């Protein structure tokens, strides 16, 4: 079974890294992960979309994702943007970085919403509003596809020293503090 995940955020939030860490974590469980971003010119603040395929079989598709079953929204300002929901499959899930569930995120195919204050946690733990590592922890919990262990192991490929330690806490807090709502 393959999960197709689309990530929405802005340059500087670590959208691409989020998708990479998850692909990495899946590979550590003996499953397969493939992710890639699509953007024009690289710049901070510009909308960035990334795609992740996670599966128990090798992933061969090299295309963007048009019918995701999971959405990950790192930028709260995009939580109601129509294009974010494009092609969402029935029974879809969304993981949203927001202070709290504002009860206004709705879509006919969205059945499960998970909210985590990733910016707040990141500010507290690393002093920067970069939500990505909180989001990967929260993703593991929400999706039920990953344990926190492989996520923490994967972080070591992207961070070291004090940064690694702080980001490990971010991921653990994301895993523990994400709140899930059935819609």
Partner 1 sequence: MNTTTTTQSRIKVITGNAAAAIAAKLARPDVVAAYPITPQTEVIEQISTFHASGEMDCELITVEGENSAMNAVMAASLAGGRVFTASSSWGLVFMYDAVLAVAGARAPVVMVNVNRETPGIIAVSSGQQDMISTRDAGWIFLIAEDCQEVLDLVLQAYRLAEDYDIQLPVMVHYDGFFLSYLSEGVDIPEQETVDQFLSVLKTQPKRTVLHPGEKLGVGSHGILGGYMELRHKHVTAMERSKAKFEEIDQEFADIFGRSYGGQVEEYRTDDADIVLLGSGSMCGTIKAVIDEQREKGERIGLVKIRMYRPFPHQALTAALKGKKAIGVVDRSLAFGFDGGPIYTELKAFETRMDGAKLVSFIDGIANTDITKTNVEKMIQMTRDLADGKDVPEVTWVSYPDANTKGGK
**Strand 92-97 relative to strand 179-182: parallel, antiparallel, unpaired?**
unpaired
Interface with partner 1, residue 3, by CB under 8 A: no
Interface with partner 1, residue 56, by CB under 8 A: no
* Angle at CA of residue 93, ends 157 and 87, nearest 5°: 100
Please enumerate in sequence order all residues whose Cβ is within 8 A of that of 161, keeping only pairs 6 or more positions apart, or say none: none
Question: Which listed range, 37-45, 80-88, 98-106, 139-147, lies at the site for partner 1 (CB under 8 A)?
Answer: 37-45
- Candidates 32, 123, 147, 153: give the one binding partner 1 (CB under 8 A): 32
Which residues, numbered 59-78, are part of the site for partner 1 (CB under 8 A)? 59-64, 66
Q: Which residues of 59-76 are buried (b: 16+ CB within 10 A; e: fewer)?
A: beeeeebeebbbbbbbbb
Q: For residues 49 and 143, which CB has a smaller minimum distance to partner 1 in the complex?
A: 49
Show the tokens assigned to 120.
């707040």
Minimum CB separation of residue 53 from partner 1 in Å reads: 9
Question: Which listed range, 31-39, 103-111, 138-146, 165-173, lies at the site for partner 1 (CB under 8 A)?
Answer: 31-39
Which residues, numbered 95-154, are part of the site for partner 1 (CB under 8 A)? 154
Could you say which DSSP state residue 109 is in? Answer: T
Please, are residues 85 and 133 in contact by the beta-carbon 8 Å criterion? Answer: no
> What residues line the site for partner 1 (CB under 8 A)?
16, 19-20, 23-24, 27, 32-38, 40-42, 59-64, 66, 154, 157
């Amino acid at each position: 079974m393959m999960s197709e995940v689309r990530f929405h955020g802005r340059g500087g939030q670590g959208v691409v890294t989020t998708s990479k860490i998850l692909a990495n974590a899946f590979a550590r469980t003996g499953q397969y992960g493939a992710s890639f971003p699509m953007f024009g010119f690289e710049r901070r603040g510009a909308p960035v979309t990334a795609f992740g395929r996670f599966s128990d079989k090798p992933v061969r598709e090299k295309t963007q994702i048009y019918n995701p079953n999971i959405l990950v929204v790192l930028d709260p300002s995009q939580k109601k943007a129509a294009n974010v929901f494009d092609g969402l499959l029935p029974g879809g899930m969304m993981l949203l970085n927001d202070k709290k569930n504002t009860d206004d995120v709705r879509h006919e195919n969205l059945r499960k919403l998970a909210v985590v204050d990733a910016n707040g946690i990141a500010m507290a733990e690393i002093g920067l509003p970069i939500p990505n590592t909180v989001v990967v922890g929260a993703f593991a919990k929400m999706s039920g596809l990953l344990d926190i262990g492989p996520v923490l192991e994967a972080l070591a490929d992207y961070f070291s020293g004090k940064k690694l330690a702080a980001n490990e806490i971010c991921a653990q807090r994301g895993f523990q503090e994400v709140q899930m709502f059935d819609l």
